Structure 1
Amino acid sequence: MSKKNLKEIVYDSVLNSIYSSEYRANEIITETSLIQKYGYSKSPIREALTALCHEGVLKNIPRCGYQVIALTSEDIQKMLEYRMVLETGMLRLCFDTITEKQLLHLDELSSLCRKNTEDVMEHWIYNMDFHIALLSLGGNDYACAQLKSCMNMLWRAYAQLHWNKWSHYNIPADMKYHDLILDAIRQKRLEDAIHYLKEDLNDFGTSSS
C-alpha cells in the first residue's frame, strides 16, 4: 500500500473531524488554523480543502474560510429513498446468480457488524462494507461507487443532526436484519430478502431519532 501524501493526510483528517462532529455544520475552517494544527505548508492544506469543496463537503467563502455544508433531515430522507431503489433493484437483478461463496463473505461482514463496539464510526464502516458487498453481487462497479458516495454523505448527515443520540444506541441490535437478509437469499425467498433489506434501511434511518 502506497504511503499517503500530505494532501491525503489532511483530507482524511478534516473529513474524519466532520464525521466525529469536531467540525460542525456551518462552522468555518481556515487554512491558517490547519497550518497551525498540522505544521504543513499552505499548498497541501489548500489542495485538501479544494478537494473537499469539489465533493460538496465544504464551501469556499472568499476572505473568510471554508464552511462545513449543512445537511438536513430532508437530505437524509432523499438519500435513504435513493438507497432503497438502488439496493433492492440490484438484489432483484442478481438474486438467482448469488453463490454460497459470496454469501459466506457476507456472513463474515455481518459478524463484524454485530461486534460489540462503542465506536459508532467503526460500526458505520462495517455496515457500509456489508451493504456495498451485497450490492457488488450485481457486478456493477459504478453502482457500488455511487452507494459508497451516498453512504459517506449519510454519515456526515447523521453526525451533524443526530450525533448525541446516535452515539448511544445499541449498535449490535441495530444490525438484526443482516442475517435475515442472508437467510432469505439462501432459501431462495426473494420477496422476503427484499422485505428485510427495506426494513434494515428504514430501521437505520430512524434509529437515531
Structure 2
Amino acid sequence: MTDKKNAFSKSKKKLLSEMIHDEILEMIIKNTTDEEMILNEGRLMEIFQVSKAPVREALIKLCAEGVLQNVPRYGYLVIRQQEKDKREVSRMRVLLELEALKEGYEEILQYHLPELLQQIEGINGAKQIDDVWAIWEDNCEFHLQLASYSKNRLLLRYLQETMDRQKRIYAQQAWESQKTLKATFNDNSHKRIWQELFNHNLEQALKCLEKDISQQSDEGIMQM
C-alpha cells in the first residue's frame, strides 16, 4: 500500500473523508479474490493512518451509494452487482449522454471538434494496453469530455457517478470471467461519433453514441 498521507497532502480541495471514500472504492474495484470482501474500520484506519471519523464518514457514504452493507459486529460487506444493475446503469448513461450531446451540439461544432479528435487519436494510438483500467479511464475521458460541452454541471456529476458504478460492474464481470485483466482497444465507435458531428448530423451522432454505450454494457469492458 502506498503512503496515503503523501497522496492526501497533494490535494486540499477534497475533504479527507472524500479521498478515503475514493481509495476504498478503488480497493473494492481492484479486488481479485473469489471471497466476499469485508471491510473493517480498524484495519482501514491503519491503512490510511487516520482517525475513525473520516473512515466512518466514507463508509457511511459508500453504504448510501449501494456499494457496501453495514453488518453490525461484523463489518462492511461489499454488495455484489446484479444484471438489473447493469441494465439500469446503461439506461441512465444513455439518458444523460444523449441529453448532454443535444445541449452541447452547437458548442462542439463551433469550438471543439479539433480537440475532440485529438483526444480520440491519442487513445487509438495505444493499440495494445495490458492495464484494462487504463482503457476504462480513456473511455471515460472521451464520454465525459463529450458531455462537458453541455456545460451542465449537475448532469456531469450524475454521469460521473453512473460511470463509477459501471466500473464496479465491469470489475465484477472480469473477476467472474477470468482473473487476468488484459484487453485490446480496437474500437472505432468514438471516431464514428466524431465523424457524424463533423458532418453536422446530430441525429446520426446520437444514434452512434447510444450504440456505443449499449455495446459497452452488453459486451463489458473486456471488449471495449
TM-score (norm 2): 0.79
1:12 equivalent among 1, 8, 22: 22
Name the structure 1 match of 2:11. 2
1:100-179 equivalence runs, <5 A: 100-114=110-124, 115=126, 116-163=128-175, 164-165=177-178, 167-170=181-184, 172-174=185-187, 176-179=188-191
RMSD over equivalenced CA pairs, Å: 2.6
- Contact kept? 1:72, 1:161, Cα under 8 Å: no
Cα offset for 1:24?
Answer: 6.9
Looking at structure 2, the residues matched to 131 and 149 of structure 1 have their Cα atoms a distance apart, in angstroms, of: 13
SS at match of 1:60: strand
Q: Which runs of 5+ in 1 are unaligned?
A: none
C-alpha deviations, 1:166-199, integer Å up to 9, x for none? 93332x213x110111111011122221222122
Letter of the aligned partner of 2:206 in structure 1?
I
Name the structure 1 match of 2:85. 75
Identity of aligned residues (%): 30
What is the aligned length? Answer: 207
Name the structure 1 match of 2:4. none
SS at match of 1:67: strand
Q: Which runs of 5+ in 2 are unaligned?
A: 1-9
Q: Which one is further off, 179-188 or 88-97? A: 88-97
- Contact kept? 1:71, 1:160, Cα under 8 Å: yes
Runs ≥4 residues deviating over 4 A: 3-6, 22-26
Q: 1:145 to 1:23 in 2, by over 3 A?
A: farther
Tell me whether 1:65 sits opposite 2:49 in the alignment.
Answer: no
1:43 equivalent among 53, 61, 84: 53
- Contact kept? 1:58, 1:67, Cα under 8 Å: yes
Letter of the aligned partner of 1:43 in structure 2?
A
- Contact kept? 1:169, 1:207, Cα under 8 Å: no
- Contact kept? 1:24, 1:160, Cα under 8 Å: no
